[in-house]
Chains A and B, each alone.
Chain A
Amino acid sequence: MKKINILSLAVLLASGLATTAQATQELRLLTWGGYAPKEVVELFEKETGIKVKVTKSNNEEMISKLKATRGAGFDLVQPSQDRVASAQKAFKIYKPMDLSKIDSSQFIDSMLAATKGQSTVDGEVYAVPHVWGSSGLIVNRAIAADIKDYTDLCKPAYAGKVTYRLKRPTLIGFAFAMGEDPFAAYGDADKYKQIMEKVGKKLTECKANVKAYWSGGDALLSLMRSGETTAAMAWDAGGWKLNRDNADITFVAPTSGALGWIDTFVLPRKTKNEAAAYQWINFVMRPDIAAKITASAGNFTASKGSDDFVDAKAKAQYQESFSAKDIDNIKWYPPVPAGLEKIEGKILDRIKAS
């Protein structure tokens, strides 16, 4: 009798827990640092009653996590645009977007159209744009004013004073600076391999100049802030963040072109709260909310009219880094075909081991 009592109590408790879990809805968001600042999460909770659980990550980890769970564990993810179609084709981890649930009037039309086009697989659209930005150079202009392009990082004058990541954007940036067009070779594996081998050789020679390969954004910021390095290849937002503390340091668009990326909203295949995901997208694309995200992430969004809410300093920094010509010269990442990562991986391993 006693046993039964305990058992029924346990069942009662468990069902009680289950109902409370249902009562407060939850949105599990897998995103980048800065894209879901506390202030915005709190405003969203207040308006909708939905709790937002934020997990910070990067492109590769997002795809790997979803690959491991076959698209479960999160309700909304934010990979970059070039990683949507290929990951969907290879691993089937995403779910098509129901565009009727999204308020498209809040988006900058050209960006929405571009993202839709690039993330279409078998006639279904998988992504809408959120934050965009670029990779280029962060330079301490007081010391290294003559660094104008990626390959300038290898100048002997800056031996031991340079940092960049050992990742694919570095390979692609250097390829452009060396007069190649890696994006045009995306479809031709042999040609791409040839370009990458050439870049690999250059980066191996350049290794003596590198102080350390940075991996996290904080590592980069502290290297530049402390003056341990004077030039880096990195994201624009990092340069602008440093610029607020030290006016000499800022983001410089390289002469061969900054590399442009768009981080998107995508539904994982086994999303449990699709409705909340759409609510979140429509909420953060409001111009005033989008401006708050710009303030925290440092990058601009695809939200129409949010420029009016962005603080003047951020706008001035952006204009200082990008002339009209620089903007036209941005090289936007096309969707990555499958298999390129293997070619790049080998090259990156060799550079590191050399």
Chain B
Amino acid sequence: MGNLGANARLKLGLWLLLMPLGLWLLLLIILPHFELLIFSITDPEDGAFTFEFYFEFFTEPLYWRTFLRTAVMSILATILTLIIAFPVAFYIAKMLKGRSKGIVFAMCLIPFWVSELVRTFGWMILLRESGVISNFLQWSGLAAGPVELLYTDATIMLGLVYSSMLFMVVPLVSTLDSLDDSYIEAGYDLGGTNWNVIREIVIPHAIPGIVSGCIIVFMLSLGNYLTPVLLGGKDSLWFTEQIYTQFITRFNWEQGSAFGLLLLVLSSLIVWLGLKASGQSFTKTMG
């Protein structure tokens, strides 16, 4: 009898503890998305059910091309971030010890104490035609006239990789930390080359970290608004910019909602495909 009472109390406690999470999910995630869904399938004039806003996405090449461009560039940014972050993470996790490890890790962190807007403006000051790098090149005689480095797709890529670097380094460092050094030594003892050791020991161990880092970076890049808008050139269309324009400058909430949901669904699809291709499951990566 007493046992049962304690059990019931435990259950109540569990529910109470889950309450903040549940409320957060319901009020800030599920309800708004539900409202977006309602908006996106209602005709603003007569309130009838319609799929026209979804058709618009698939029939107007402008919109799906923008999405495709955004997705491809985000994937590219993810791969680049991984390539740059992996050696950094390996160095932090395996080569450094004690104090210097903390210092280098903090150095990766420090840029993120400043807001994204400020960091982006920093890049603009460096890269613009009358900016620091252009002036240095002219001063050193490497360039005859002003050099414009801003407003290109490469600049967007730079901004994306820079702003998401930390989100790749952190999961990589934590997975690589858990790799026992003796495995690596054993690999060398058995006559493995550097490449063998990385391919057969380090990467298989780090895969959960790689995948979770990639998912975070991909989603951040896809949903980024500031970097493409500020660093991008006159041809730089980003899908989130489209959503913003539909909501704010066109007052077309229905179209904006449809785009927002399509972004959610299509990006989830890409992540799912990525997981399938790498032979990982979501639970394994996150757990």
Q: Which residues of A are at the interface with B, using a C-beta cutoff of 8 A? A: 60-61, 63-64, 67, 90-91, 167, 207, 210-213, 215, 226-228, 341-342, 345, 349-350, 352-353
* Of B22-30, B167-175, B249-257, the one with at least 4 CB within 8 A of chain A: B249-257
Whether A211 pairs with B235 at a CB distance below 8 angstroms is: no
B177 contacts A by Cβ under 8 Å = no
Set B128, B229, B234, B247: member contacting A226, Cβ < 8 A:
B128
Set B128, B148, B150, B237: member contacting A352, Cβ < 8 A:
B237
By DSSP majority rule, is chain B's interface helix, strand, loop, or mixed?
loop
B65, B234, B235, B237 pick with most chain A CB within 10 angstroms: B234
- Chain B residues with CB below 8 A from A60, complex form: 248-249, 251
- Please report the C-alpha to C-alpha distance between residue A90 and residue B253 in the assembled complex, in whole angstroms: 13
A351 to chain B, nearest CB (A): 9
B233 contacts A by Cβ under 8 Å = yes
Set B62, B234, B237, B252: member contacting A207, Cβ < 8 A:
B234
Whether B129 pairs with A228 at a CB distance below 8 angstroms is: yes
Whether A226 pairs with B237 at a CB distance below 8 angstroms is: no
Count of chain B residues with Cβ under 8 Å from any Cβ of A?
24
The number of residue pairs between A and B whose CB atoms lie closer than 8 Å in the complex comes to 56
> Can you list 20 A-B contacts (CB < 8 A)?
A60-B248, A60-B249, A61-B248, A63-B251, A64-B248, A67-B251, A67-B253, A90-B251, A167-B249, A212-B233, A215-B229, A226-B130, A227-B130, A228-B148, A341-B249, A342-B250, A349-B237, A349-B245, A352-B234, A353-B65
13 more A-B residue pairs beyond the given contacts A342-B250, A345-B249, with a C-beta to C-beta distance below 8 A: A60-B251, A211-B148, A212-B151, A212-B233, A212-B234, A213-B234, A228-B146, A345-B250, A345-B252, A350-B62, A352-B237, A353-B66, A353-B235
- Please report the C-alpha to C-alpha distance between residue A342 and residue B233 in the assembled complex, in whole angstroms: 24
Whether A341 pairs with B234 at a CB distance below 8 angstroms is: no
Whether A228 pairs with B234 at a CB distance below 8 angstroms is: no
- Chain B residues with CB below 8 A from A349, complex form: 62, 237, 242, 245
B62, B235, B247, B251 pick with most chain A CB within 10 angstroms: B251
B62, B65, B237 pick with most chain A CB within 10 angstroms: B62
- Chain A residues with CB below 8 A from B252, complex form: 341-342, 345
